[in-house]
Amino acid sequence: MKKCILFIILFFSHFSTNAEGVNLSCALDQNLCDLCPEYQTIFPVEKFSENTGALDIEADESEIIEGKYILSGNVELNSESLYLSANDVEVSSTDSSILATGEVRFQDELYLITSNYLSAERENDDLIATATSANYQDYSEGLRGANGYTEVIEKTPTSVLLTNATYSLCPVNQNDWLIDAKEIELNLVKNRGVADNATVKFYGVPIFYTPKYYWVLEGRGSGFLTPNYSTYNETGQNEDSYSLRVPYYFNLAPDRDLLLALTYMSSRRFIYEGKYRQLIAPKISPEHQDSIYSLEIKYLPEDKVTGLKRWLVNFSEELDLSDKVHLSANYHRVSDSKYFEEIDRTSSDLKTLKSSLKYSYADEEESISLSVLTEDEQVVNAGTPGYTRAIEGSASKTLNADGKMPIQLDIVATRFAHDTASKESGTRAHGDIGISRRLNINYPQVTPRASIAITNYSLKNSPNINRTIFGSGLDIDFTTNKNSSLFGYKVNHKLSPIITYNYRAKKVQGNIPLFDSTDKYDDIISFADLTSGERYTGLDRITNANDITLSLKSTYRKVGALDDDKDLLSMRIAQTYFTDDEVVSDTSNTNYETRKSYSDIAASIDIAVNKFSISSAVQFNPDTSKIAKKESTISYIPSSRKFISLSFIDEGTKETEKFYGAYPITDSFHIFGGVDKTTSTGITNAETTGIAYESCCWAFRLAHFKEDDSSGGYNYSTGMELVLTGLGSTASPLKNKIENKIPGYSAQLR
């Protein structure tokens, strides 16, 4: 059976089409491979004559016999769109036909042809050239151009007809693969190639024969894409199962396409798949994105293991109705919570699927924004149910935005729902007014502020709750800037010592349900957590404060650096001092919890020089004089094919190490891998290893995956891809899985 599967892979991988332009746009993608040797042509390309309407002729000897011009010895004919050289050339004075023999070189605006015999004549002002025992090359496409050998070639402005010929998109004299056919027609108008009685040869070995073979000459086109074959293991079964996915791509238009696929899982049966994408409108400004939507459906009529119907639906739309109004929609659902684990065999880290609809309005000039949101949630894999926003409306407005005393108004109302009936539900309406004013002091910058937050909870199973909290604060900023040098670069050194005072009234909140609030301090306490002045996310808990935060930030940034460039060196440290030994608790039905009179110290350092980067963040406990938690990452990333990244995470009770990398063995071969392991328990969460070969002619990738199945065992799977450049390529499930498991790696086969 496996031999049959491998044969089918070879069959469809060569009865395929080029779909490398996977980004929808109004123009076809024109990616070129950077792994090819220096571009070569079958003979040096000549420059056409600049004499419009004339024919330049050079020859050692010439004579006229019976109305024919006989040219011999280093003959060259050159016009504004045609070049011809040969040992001997005959030109008819009556019909301007040409007969060339001996070391013939023919060049028009698209093709190069070498032969010992070539004839050319005009028909309705179109030049028709015919050569025998010829080599040809489509040099107009550069590295993407086809080349080969043919017994007879007939070239017209709209087509090329080859008899007993070979065809390859590899570089000249490097035909790792080729099509050997009785007849090949290249229709330049329809952008299609058709081969009769074609045999596909890989390194000279015939691997497939087909009586009829079609492909696209340039850009995206309809046809079969590269299949995907993988092995996997079902829980509780000793023998490996296999999966074969055969996709067919429909290039409906430059701005829309359709992908259909049939997947056979030996342990589950057939899965039918379809994905439609369309570019609704290009982005209306550089600050916007393209308006686009897509619909993906997967369907397994009857699972051989469970007997159930298994399916997936994923719809998304991003649409700019105007430069200020945007509509975002997403519907993502599967038949059951184990779909990704058992059927899709990807996205095992997902806990929930969110479906949402959002309408938003933003006017930067008027400093106003409005939005309406509704969402729903489906729990998958090992996720647990949570609250969703059945409906949410929000509005934000800044008054006197350009003045010395801006006033910020924010209103948000949310109706929360939960799939568990025993969980509290209801509507939360929250309003916040904040005002700040920078004092007229040159140094330091002193900015007092004040705010009031009013919240109302209308609960389904409990009494309504009203909460009003007043707040105030003061920021004293001692920031200085000066030019300096670091690591051999001219830099701007920004030093920002800041003293922040925050006050918020102490308010009992233990009776308020927790809809969307979490504690930022549950993981490592960061510099941003302390300087934000708020311990919790969401609005269900607002911490009391009578605190002073001391922070220091020092950054060295290259002069002229772009917005996306990282700072050469960035150092941060902060600590907060509390005057109240109690803080609002996020434990249900608990008002307060005790705390020290000061927080742990949050510090971090980030270095980015050339391709190297080092990032380290620590949470230091002053009482024990020890580091309580830490995160460190060291990376060297010169390219997506050559990089290494090491991460060490210590959460106090759990230690994790992550390793990702890729290394080129040669210009064409590279290996890649990744490990995510909880070292404190010895459990490997995920492990990925693989090898890939890439050239401008063909590419192959093999990857092996090991994943924790949360029951004390592991799931194993192996996948592979083969792409003959120009004949088939696709963004496959294997590609997506590798990139998900190895951040920083680009799995695009050319």
Instruction: Give the residue numbers spanning the domain of 600.
Output: 421-639
**pLDDT at residue number 126:** 79
**What does the DSSP 8-state code read for residue 73?**
E
**pLDDT at residue number 38:** 63
**Which is it for the CA torsion 219, 222, 226, 232, positive or negative?**
positive
> Would you state the torsion angle of the CA atoms of residues 300, 304, 306, 309, taken in this order, to the nearest 10 degrees?
20
261 domain-assigned? no
547 domain-assigned? yes
What is the distance between the alpha carbons of residues 426 and 463, in angstroms, rounded to a whole number? Answer: 11
* Two tokens, residue 683: 């459990």
**pLDDT at residue number 116:** 95
Count of structural domains, the chain = 2
**pLDDT at residue number 9:** 45
* Two tokens, residue 220: 């995206």
What average pLDDT does the segment 66-76 reach?
86
Domain final position from 200, 218, 236 = 218
Q: Who wins on pLDDT, 603 or 257?
A: 603
Of all residues in the chain, the percent with pLDDT exceeding 90 is 59
Domain final position from 639, 655, 681 = 639
368 pLDDT higher than 80: yes
**pLDDT at residue number 503:** 96
Indicate the range of 217-226, 561-570, 589-598, 707-716 predicted with least confidence.
Answer: 217-226
690 domain-assigned? no
What average pLDDT does the segment 554-565 reach?
91
559 domain-assigned? yes
For residue range 633-663, what is the model confidence (pLDDT) as tens digits?
999 999 888 999 999 999 988 999 999 999 9
Domain final position from 218, 252, 273 = 218
* SS3 per-residue string spanning 310-354: EEEEEEEEEEECCCCEEEEEEEEEECCCCHHHHHHCCCCCCCEEE
**Phi, then psi, of 13 in degrees rounded to 5:** -70, -15
What average pLDDT does the segment 599-606 reach?
96
What is the distance between the alpha carbons of residues 152 and 129, in angstroms, rounded to a whole number? Answer: 10
Cα dist. 265→30, 83, 271, 313, 342 in Å? 35, 56, 8, 19, 11
Cis? peptide before 44, omega within 30° of 0: no
Q: Cα 181–182–184 angle (5° rounding)?
A: 65
Q: Which of 70-84, 173-187, 592-606 has the highest mean pLDDT?
A: 592-606
**pLDDT at residue number 214:** 78
Of all residues in the chain, the percent with pLDDT exceeding 70 is 92
Q: Nearest CA to 33 among 162, 169, 152, 143?
A: 143
Instruction: Label residue 51 by pLDDT band (50, 70, 90).
Output: confident
385 domain-assigned? no
Indicate the range of 232-236, 468-472, 580-584 predicted with least confidence.
Answer: 232-236
Q: How high does pLDDT run on average in the chain?
A: 88
